[in-house]
Amino acid sequence: MQRKPPSRKTLIFADKDSALRHDVRTLGSMVGDLLREQGGDAFFEHVESARREAILRREGERSIDDLANVVGELDAPAAQNFIRAFSTS
């Protein structure tokens, strides 16, 4: 039987990791700003929607079909940009 991974909400991080967590949040924000600048708000929101669905799927709260629905809405050129963006966010 496969064990469900812990929820991000229940994880407790050591104080020594706070600087690293800050850097990760800062880099994530910078990537988000770049996605908005290069692809627009709608594109950014689509990437964020897929990212949230992937997190929820990993935590066992959503199925792969929910994530597939978000990704399946894209045409080929948008899907190419999406793949690039999602792999860096």
Which mean pLDDT values do the consecutive 10-residue runs of the chain (89 residues) have?
A: 68 86 92 91 90 88 87 86 75
| Cβ contacts of 50 within 8 Å, gap of 6 or more | 67, 70, 71, 82, 86
Q: Domain residues for 47? A: 40-89
Task: Supply the pLDDT for residue 23.
Answer: 93
Q: Is 71 a domain residue?
A: yes
Q: Is 2 a domain residue?
A: no
Quote the number of domains for the chain: 1
**3-state SS, one letter per residue, for the chain:** CCCCCCCHHHCCCCHHHHHHHHHHHHHHHHHHHHHHHHHCHHHHHHHHHHHHHHHHHHCCCCCHHHHHHHHHCCCHHHHHHHHHHHHHC
Tokens of 78: 């948008």
Q: Is 88 a domain residue?
A: yes
